[in-house]
Amino acid sequence: MSKKTIKDVEVSHKRVLVRVDFNVPLSPDGKVLDDFRIRAALPTINYLVEHQAKVILMSHLGRPKGKVVESLRMDPVAKKLSEISGLNVKKLDDCIGEEVKKEVFSMNDGNIILLENLRFHKGEKENDPEFAKELASLGELYVDDAFATAHRVAASTVGVAAYLPAVAGFLMEKEIESLTKILTAPEHPYVAILGGAKVSDKIGVIQNLMDKVDAFLIGGGMCFTFLKAKGYKIGYSLCEDEKIPFAKELLEEAKKRNIKVILPADVVSVPEVKETAPSKVVDIEEIPKDGIGVDIGPKTIENFKKILSTAKMIVWNGPLGVFEIEKFAKGTYAIAEYLGELKGITAVAGGGETAAALRKFGADKKITHVSTGGGAFLKFLEGHSLPAIDVLEDK
């Protein structure tokens, strides 16, 4: 990797300001519901503690819009981090100010402090130089380990790098290396699995992958825009009518380039998107007038598997059905499980819902890399440089 990491700099006995992504879902009674992002930061935190650094963690949580919102304080996160790491984490009641400085400057080597929610201050989202300078004054070195926020220009992701040496943490390093590989060093056959609700969210990704992949497997709500573009009747299934011309162009372009575009052969159809709704598997020629497609069907699962069985590299963004409802998650589950069984391949998945689906099915540990990024993952796949990565020091 071209960017410096914590292994390229001296961290011992230094105050190390670490941007993590602890923007995790909380229950109404203030408990962390999913600790995936907290666990993802542990390798960096453990390394710094083992190397006798003074570790100052900072993150945002939710959208408090520059005001203190009691339900979005970082206390539950500090508690969860202590539980899963076995380390003592001291959480402060602000992220800047004299009291914070006093606590930080009296830290011992190996201590960990978690600052209060950065977004309680407007200066965070606005990348206010004064706010960034205040944050930077707490550390002697800045480490960015929050890939999920790398596409945003904020005081804690970009601003602080103007005042401190800035390097990547281990999670950031893994994200950059894994995603760079699938864009710049593809192994063939290379297959992209695309799902999720909207074609419009994937246009940049499709365009950037067009000269790299050998096949697109398309499911989720977005497949119905393509099916309608091919003349199928899709009932009341989700469709972006304004994107039908784009879908037609993509199908034509793929044909010219000899890229396979595999659309569903069958879907699960329901009269309404409810767990209790009666469902049936229908071929795409037979979607009822009042039907809504909510998952790929068994024929499609087999068609997708056939293509994936030949792949050397796979990238996946977007669930293949309404996976939040158990009975409409079979397609996503079947493909996730199958990816976990494939040997000798590079498989990278990302996007908030995709990562959630893989974790739900326990497939996240069986594939090469599951990105912590949602918007950042998409931006990277679209071929954009990410501002928080750009400011890190080059080797």
Contacts of 141 (CB under 8 A, 6+ apart): 9, 11, 14, 15, 16, 17, 164, 165, 167
**Start-to-end Cα distance in the chain:** 8
Alpha carbon 225 to its chain's center: 24
Encoded amino acid at 218, one letter: I
Q: Which of 39, 133, 198, 305 is catalytic?
A: 198
Choose among 45, 3, 35: nearest CA to 145: 45
Instruction: Report the relative pairing of strands 166-168 and 369-370 from DSSP bridges.
Output: unpaired
C-alpha span between 8 and 280 (Å, rounded): 57
Q: Which of 66, 110, 340, 375 is catalytic?
A: 375
Q: Which of 62, 79, 352, 359 is catalytic?
A: 352
C-alpha span between 374 and 351 (Å, rounded): 4
| C-beta of residue 372 within 8 angstroms of C-beta of residue 150 | no
Q: Which of 14, 37, 152, 379 is catalytic?
A: 37
Choose among 50, 57, 47: nearest CA to 17: 57
Secondary structure of residue 171 in the 3-state scheme = helix
Is the torsion defined by CA of 195, 269, 357, 217 positive or negative? Answer: negative
C-alpha span between 86 and 78 (Å, rounded): 11
Encoded amino acid at 264, one letter: P
Is 375 catalytic? The answer is: yes
Choose among 5, 109, 9: nearest CA to 56: 109
Is 352 catalytic? The answer is: yes
Element of type H or E holding 267: strand 266-270
Choose among 71, 45, 240, 280: nearest CA to 143: 45
| Catalytic residue IDs | 37, 198, 352, 375
